[in-house]
């Protein structure tokens, strides 16, 4: 009952200073919103990347020349299948296309090399020459629908007409937003790519634990190749999102500076009214522990309210509204941004770290000056105030 009465008095004390309490609460909450939004969005994008790569090839082999990626001979498949542990090797045909009409870049991929994780939203996959399936972003940018015509300019500067047989998405919308899928043969003709070459080779292994070992064997067998494992791609995505998240925190450092100024102002001393209040409480019989507990409750109540409100607003911004401002910066530059609706995922370790770095300093800046006033003689405190 004693602690509950002190908590009741602490809440009443905050309500007696509505202007100051609301100002601190608004600044505190905005700071939590910014920090939590960056953390939530970074973790959500890393989860989306993991989902996107889960159905991809375990190992991709590219040919390099002068440090640049170039087409790889299909004949390299014969060398790779002879390596112990390799289950299958599949040439893949894909490439990029710049659409001058909309100023966007599309990813064109051969249907024979398409993974099974892609599922049509409407229609069907292409079956013959002159047909294609497109992503939702391509359909939106070209204002076309099912059974409409998509005109693309091939390598010989000749316009080709494709009938849209399907508009599809996958479990990770980041994968198919700018995608155009057609049979491998017509795609080779579109790019002018001979049958003896492929964009890269997708390698499937029997034992996933031996992917790195097989990658080293492939490098020895094909010295001019660059094996890329699925784990390397995933680490790259995570590193990029972590780096961009750090840049966002740096850009919003003004919010951190505002909070530091607020905490410093609290730590430099109490106002005259707060000193007088502590002196009166000491005069009527409160001991130093009760005063410190009172200020602890005040700091915790305000901090927890700001923290929970900020995290809730950040959760809504990231997982409901798709963070229209932060999303584009963290995902990178593109014209065809997918509608970001990430699967809700919360890292409680990050939340705990954020709470520790924001709640503890504020509570400490509330209790320390109160302790200085509480250990002073009440008569001296009231005269000084």
Q: Give per-residue pLDDT as tens, 182-208.
A: 999 999 999 999 999 999 999 999 988
Contact between 146 and 124 under an 8 Å Cβ cutoff? The reply is no
With CA atoms as reference, report the closest residue to 268 among 368, 353, 199, 345. Answer: 368
What are the tens digits of pLDDT across the range 208-228? Answer: 888 999 999 999 989 989 998
Q: 156: helix, coil or strand?
A: coil
pLDDT of 267 > 60? The answer is no
What are the tens digits of pLDDT across the range 41-75? Answer: 877 777 777 777 776 788 999 998 888 889 999 99
Report pLDDT for 170. Answer: 57
Distance CA 6, CA 295 (A): 10
pLDDT of 328 > 60? The answer is no
What are the tens digits of pLDDT across the range 105-130? Answer: 899 999 765 544 456 667 888 888 89
pLDDT band at 96 (very low <50, low <70, confident <90, very high): very high
Three-class HEC string of 262-312:
HHHHHHCCCCHHHHHHHHHHHHCCCCHHHHHHHHHHHHHHHHHHHHHHHHH
Average pLDDT of the chain? 79
* Non-local CB neighbours of 289 within 8 Å, separated by 6+ positions: none
* Non-local CB neighbours of 235 within 8 Å, separated by 6+ positions: none
Strands 59-65 and 200-205: antiparallel
**Strand spans (E) along 124-199:** 131-135, 149-153, 159-170, 179-182, 197-198
pLDDT of 327 > 60? The answer is no
The per-residue DSSP string of 219-234 comes to HHHSTTEEEEEHHHHH
Report pLDDT for 189. Answer: 93
Overall average pLDDT of the 140-161 stretch: 91
Report pLDDT for 115. Answer: 47
Report pLDDT for 27. Answer: 81
Percent of the chain with pLDDT over 90: 23
pLDDT of 330 > 50? The answer is yes
- Which of 5-14, 69-78, 203-212, 301-310 is predicted with the least confidence, judged by mean pLDDT? 5-14
Overall average pLDDT of the 279-301 stretch: 75
Question: Is residue 78 classed exposed, middle or buried when 0-12, 13-18 and 19+ CB atoms within 10 A define those classes?
Answer: exposed
Distance CA 278, CA 298 (A): 13
Q: Which range has the top average pLDDT, 13-27, 57-71, 148-162?
A: 148-162
Report pLDDT for 182. Answer: 92
pLDDT of 269 > 60? The answer is no
Strands 225-229 and 59-65: antiparallel
Tell if the pTM clears 0.85, that is, is over it: no
Q: Which range has the top average pLDDT, 108-122, 150-164, 327-341?
A: 150-164
Q: What does the block give as tokens for 257? A: 């500076």
Contact between 336 and 139 under an 8 Å Cβ cutoff? The reply is no
> Could you give the count of Cα atoms lying within 13 Å of 330 in the half-sphere of its Cβ?
29
Overall average pLDDT of the 273-298 stretch: 72
Q: What does the block give as tokens for 298? A: 């005040």
What are the tens digits of pLDDT across the range 340-378? Answer: 566 677 778 878 888 887 888 778 777 776 676 666 655
Per-position b or e across 336-347, b if 16+ CB within 10 A of its CB: bbbebebeeeeb
């Amino acid at each position: 009952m004693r602690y509950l009465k002190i908590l009741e008095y602490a809440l009443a004390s905050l309500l007696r200073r509505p202007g100051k309490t609301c100002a601190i609460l608004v600044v505190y909450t905005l700071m939590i919103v910014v920090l939590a939004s960056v953390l939530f969005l970074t973790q959500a994008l890393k989860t989306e990347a993991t989902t996107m790569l889960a159905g991809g090839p375990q190992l991709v082999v590219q040919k390099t020349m002068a440090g640049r990626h170039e087409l790889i001979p299909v004949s390299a498949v014969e060398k790779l299948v002879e390596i112990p542990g390799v289950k299958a090797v599949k040439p893949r045909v894909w490439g990029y296309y710049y659409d001058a009409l909309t100023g966007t870049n599309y990813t064109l991929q051969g249907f024979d090399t398409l993974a099974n994780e892609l599922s049509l939203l409407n229609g069907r996959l292409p079956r013959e020459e002159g047909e294609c399936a497109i992503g939702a972003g391509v359909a939106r940018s070209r204002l076309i629908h099912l059974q409409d015509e998509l005109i693309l300019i091939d390598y010989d500067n000749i316009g080709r007409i494709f009938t849209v047989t399907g508009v599809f998405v996958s479990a990770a919308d980041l994968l198919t937003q700018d995608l155009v899928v057609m049979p491998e043969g017509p795609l080779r003709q579109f790019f002018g790519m001979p049958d003896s070459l492929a964009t890269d080779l997708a390698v499937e292994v029997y034992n996933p634990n031996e992917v790195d070992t097989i990658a080293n064997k492939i490098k020895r067998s094909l010295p001019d190749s660059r094996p890329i494992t699925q784990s390397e791609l995933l680490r790259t995505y995570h590193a990029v999102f972590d780096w961009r998240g750090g840049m966002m925190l740096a850009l919003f450092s003004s919010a951190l500076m505002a909070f530091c100024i607020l905490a410093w102002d609290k730590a430099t001393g109490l106002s005259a009214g707060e000193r007088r209040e502590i002196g009166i409480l000491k005069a009527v019989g409160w001991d130093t522990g009760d005063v410190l507990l009172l200020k602890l409750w005040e700091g915790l109540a305000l901090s927890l309210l700001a923290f929970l409100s900020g995290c809730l607003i950040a959760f809504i911004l990231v997982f409901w509204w798709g963070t229209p401002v932060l999303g584009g910066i963290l995902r990178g530059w593109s014209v065809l941004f997918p509608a970001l609706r990430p699967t809700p995922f919360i890292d409680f370790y990050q939340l705990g770290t954020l709470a520790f770095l924001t709640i503890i300093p504020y509570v400490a800046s509330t209790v320390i000056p109160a302790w200085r006033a509480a250990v002073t003689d009440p008569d001296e405190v009231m005269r000084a105030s």
